[in-house]
Amino acid sequence: MPDVHKFVGFLVVAIFAVGWLWGLGVWILRRHDPGPAFWVWVTVAQVAAGLEALIGVVLLILGYRPDTMLHYVYGIGPLIVLGFAHWIAREGQKVKDGSNPFPPWIWFAGGAFICFGLSLRAVMTGLGIG
């Protein structure tokens, strides 16, 4: 089971890397919309992060413990960041007339950058690196 957690952890890091690089590419190319496939990516990223956390909880119940408490912070962090991205993307659209809100995808691309770093650190602490 710990090997599954490690594998899914690497997969989550890769998924978040795709998301923030995708958003960066859209921004550099000055596109206004990353396309409908981006929202499929958001769904995949959320499911993968949730699955990884669920596997971690199962391992915790089975008696496995990480070497450092930071692993919990880095592991739960992406779920909190994704929740915040949902909230700010929705609330950010509620602006005064005449103002131009940020498109919702920007919050998810930025959140993916933070989630990439958090999940990478979670993998590193789980492997005993740093």
Give the tokens for residue 5: 């957690």
Mean pLDDT, rounded, for 90-102: 81
| Alpha carbon distance 51, 22 (integer Å) | 22
pLDDT reported for residue 130: 73
| C-alpha torsion sign, points 104, 110, 116, 121 | negative
Computed on alpha carbons and rounded to an integer, the radius of gyration of the chain in Å comes to 16
Q: How far apart are CA 130 and CA 126, in angstroms?
A: 10
State the pTM of this model: 0.92
pLDDT confidence bin for 46, thresholds 50/70/90: very high
Q: Sketch the domain layout of the chain as residue ranges.
A: 2-126
- 8-state DSSP, 29: T
- For residue 99, what pLDDT band results from cuts at 50, 70 and 90? confident
pLDDT confidence of residue 14: 98
| pLDDT greater than 90 at residue 37 | yes
pLDDT digits 0-9 by tens, 104-127:
999 999 999 999 999 999 999 999
| pLDDT (0 to 100) of residue 118 | 97
User: What is the average per-residue pLDDT within 92-102?
Assistant: 79
